[in-house]
Chains A and B, each alone.
Chain A
């Protein structure tokens, strides 16, 4: 016997079924990632290990960060101390906050602002105790001491930037080397400033913070300097991507990578802070090689593309500016710079970044034309852009003459 379903009931059933399917699909998406959002996961450590209950806040700009305005908050991750945050593509300042034994901790990520595109990213945060600035009528400016694990950051470099800078890279307004006590002092006009310190593992100027380098940022930032007030800060550092160095000696390594497939994503953090943008979304690319005069490829040379900013003529002062478009040559001397937009760029290859050219440093400008510039259209890949570097400013013996 065959049961017949009335046509009207059948239509009703089809509608219900459709609604159910759509609902299932929607609930799946709603329960996972908002449409167009990228998953950022990671772990938040204090020197004692993962810091449970800590959160990450993502801000659209530095001003929002310091006023705690409209942050996107993270949720809990899979394991203790882990977090997950879904962010629409864009640039964000990420700040971690937490507390343990009544002590407030924070971490300002050294690669801020972070560009979030469509690629999963894993970010570790290393927490340090919050510490306020204490101001007194003992001058005018900012002074302080900088340490890492209670040891003065001797030989580190501390820079002060105006608050509106927003990037806090390069040499800023003033840069000092730290003495053996990790102490510094800046005499400043009244204003609002951000202090950042770094110590490189290798003596390669004050360039991007690389793995193992120390990065230091105080919760007192930005610091307001007023007339006849000297603000004293105590700043602690954390190592870029060196968890074992950061943890106290008696802590086990709780590194919580979930899946083998995510290891590649986690390696984003091993890139220099200025070359964090995944290539998949880059609109334009310049690639080529850096060689010596004999045509041998040179490894580990920084190549920077400076936007021409409408200047038709090469001018030296352009090279004093900070450009996020930077790459480093591989073992064969090859480089690849991804650019957020097309345009004309001045190209420089050199040993160091962030400081003025120095004696015996390998240095070279692009010599394809008298303006040292390359024009790249949106979406275009300009290849075979080659630069030659030589050690500059050879010693003439004058130093010795002046000492006599």
Chain B
């Protein structure tokens, strides 16, 4: 039987389209979509999108060549396992590639314990470690972690997120980090900074009702003079770390705590400390006023009222 030429062409086109689709699929594998999943330890080697409820038991590594995208409204829960018996849950997400966790005011992304009676340290952290990409954390909520988020040797923008009921809200060392419009409360330490470098911007955040607000402490790894301030007489953080326009109030021990060997002055003007009386503000800061070996926190000029635009923005900017 003869097939009309037009049908022949159609058949040819359809076959060609089929093969083309197949080839494209192999060249550009579609991102894996995980919606409502229970995940054991693994390395993600293919771009992946999470949505719905994701439960993690173990360590999820986001590989170098991989982007993990987390959809708005996703609930990421961590089962508590403690193989090394250090009292800290071992479950974590470790990002070597890239993470884009961008929720919305209405649909925040939640990282929390999967336990029935959740508590701080039920899981380790969302860790950005030696990432080679720009990472974005936006409209996320972190609770019950050892640290909600750690940024080490990586670049990230963290905005409009909540950090509460963690051992530490966020910890970072050498990092390129923009931390704006977040809220930290009911953590043991809200922000722990372990390396005197930068660039780091801590701007328009609300930091309240933690034991310590901001805790600057050198890394125990190696104390070198690489990070020593220049000899110009400027505070060491000039051009490296800016802490301004934040509400730093009502933290139980100190709003700001300079750790051991923080020998240099630090400029922290433009923040609201819950008071307009310098002596009262100084009583909430652990610096040279309490330990003569430490540098001084330069608070003047300070804000006389709560920063109206600090904290999570209820409307997506």
Smallest CB gap from B226: residue in A: A177
Q: Does B224 contact A (CB under 8 A)?
A: yes
Given A356-B153, A365-B130, A392-B132, A398-B84 contact (CB < 8 Å) = no
Smallest CB gap from A357: residue in B: B153
Smallest CB gap from B219: residue in A: A356
CB within 8 Å of A: which B227-262 residues: 239-242
- In contact, A370 and B130 (Cβ under 8 angstroms): no
Q: Which residues of A contact B240 (CB under 8 A)?
A: 402
- In contact, A364 and B221 (Cβ under 8 angstroms): no
Distance of A358 Cα from B227 Cα, bound (Å): 13
- In contact, B65 and A370 (Cβ under 8 angstroms): no
Contact of A357 among B84, B130, B134 (CB under 8 A): B130
Q: Which residues of A contact B133 (CB under 8 A)?
A: 394
Q: Does B152 contact A (CB under 8 A)?
A: yes
Q: Does A367 contact B (CB under 8 A)?
A: yes
Smallest CB gap from A310: residue in B: B84
CB within 8 Å of A: which B54-110 residues: 58-61, 63-65, 83-84, 90, 94, 96
Distance of A398 Cα from B63 Cα, bound (Å): 26
Q: Which residues of B contact A356 (CB under 8 A)?
A: 153, 173-174, 195, 221-222
**Of residues A316, A358, A364, which shows the largest number of chain B Cβ atoms within 10 Å of its Cβ?**
A316
- In contact, B201 and A401 (Cβ under 8 angstroms): yes
Q: Does A174 contact B (CB under 8 A)?
A: yes
Smallest CB gap from B198: residue in A: A402
In the assembled complex, how far is the CB of residue B45 from the closest CB belonging to chain A, in whole angstroms?
7
Q: Does A312 contact B (CB under 8 A)?
A: yes
Interface string of B107-144 (1 = CB under 8 A from A): 00000000000000000000001111110000000000
Q: Does B46 contact A (CB under 8 A)?
A: no
Interface string of B171-203 (1 = CB under 8 A from A): 001111110000000000000000100111100
Q: Which residues of B contact A359 (CB under 8 A)?
A: 176
Chain B contact residues (Cβ within 8 angstroms of A): what range?
35 or more
A-B contact count (CB 8 A): 123
In the assembled complex, how far is the CB of residue A161 from the closest CB belonging to chain B, in whole angstroms?
11
Q: Does A280 contact B (CB under 8 A)?
A: no
Distance of A402 Cα from B132 Cα, bound (Å): 22
- In contact, A398 and B201 (Cβ under 8 angstroms): yes
Q: Does A54 contact B (CB under 8 A)?
A: no
Smallest CB gap from A172: residue in B: B222
Given A312-B84, A313-B83, A393-B154, A370-B178 contact (CB < 8 Å) = no
Distance of A383 Cα from B94 Cα, bound (Å): 26
In the assembled complex, how far is the CB of residue A124 from the closest CB belonging to chain B, in whole angstroms?
32
In the assembled complex, how far is the CB of residue B299 from the closest CB belonging to chain A, in whole angstroms?
19
Contact of A396 among B63, B157, B173 (CB under 8 A): B157
Interface string of A102-143 (1 = CB under 8 A from B): 000000000000000000000000000000000000000000
Q: Does B41 contact A (CB under 8 A)?
A: yes
- In contact, B225 and A177 (Cβ under 8 angstroms): yes
Distance of A370 Cα from B62 Cα, bound (Å): 9
CB within 8 Å of B: which A140-199 residues: 171-177
Smallest CB gap from A403: residue in B: B239
Q: Which residues of B contact A364 (CB under 8 A)?
A: 64, 96, 130
Distance of A286 Cα from B56 Cα, bound (Å): 32
Smallest CB gap from B222: residue in A: A171
- In contact, B84 and A313 (Cβ under 8 angstroms): yes
In the assembled complex, how far is the CB of residue B72 from the closest CB belonging to chain A, in whole angstroms?
23
Given A311-B84, A312-B84, A388-B65, A367-B45 contact (CB < 8 Å) = yes
Q: Which residues of B contact A90 (CB under 8 A)?
A: none
Given A316-B129, A393-B176, A398-B199 contact (CB < 8 Å) = yes
CB within 8 Å of B: which A308-322 residues: 311-314, 316-317, 320
Q: Which residues of A contact B173 (CB under 8 A)?
A: 356
Q: Which residues of A contact B242 (CB under 8 A)?
A: 402
In the assembled complex, how far is the CB of residue B137 from the closest CB belonging to chain A, in whole angstroms?
13
- In contact, A367 and B155 (Cβ under 8 angstroms): no
- In contact, A316 and B152 (Cβ under 8 angstroms): yes
In the assembled complex, how far is the CB of residue A104 from the closest CB belonging to chain B, in whole angstroms?
33
In the assembled complex, how far is the CB of residue A178 from the closest CB belonging to chain B, in whole angstroms?
10
In the assembled complex, how far is the CB of residue B171 from the closest CB belonging to chain A, in whole angstroms?
11
Contact of B132 among A175, A368, A390 (CB under 8 A): A390
Given A311-B84, A370-B61, A358-B130 contact (CB < 8 Å) = no
Distance of A390 Cα from B65 Cα, bound (Å): 9
Q: Which residues of A contact B43 (CB under 8 A)?
A: 367-370
CB within 8 Å of B: which A65-106 residues: none
- In contact, B84 and A392 (Cβ under 8 angstroms): no
- In contact, B224 and A396 (Cβ under 8 angstroms): no
Given A367-B96, A402-B242, A394-B132 contact (CB < 8 Å) = yes
Residue numbers of B with Cβ under 8 A of A are 41-43, 45, 58-61, 63-65, 83-84, 90, 94, 96, 129-134, 152-155, 157, 173-178, 195, 198-201, 221-226, 239-242
17 contacts between A and B (CB under 8 A): A174-B222, A176-B224, A177-B225, A293-B65, A313-B59, A359-B176, A364-B64, A365-B130, A367-B63, A392-B153, A393-B132, A393-B153, A393-B175, A396-B199, A398-B200, A398-B201, A399-B198
Known: A393-B174, A394-B134, A402-B198. 16 other contacts (CB 8 A): A172-B222, A175-B226, A313-B59, A313-B90, A316-B152, A367-B45, A370-B43, A371-B59, A393-B175, A395-B155, A395-B176, A396-B176, A399-B199, A401-B201, A402-B199, A402-B242
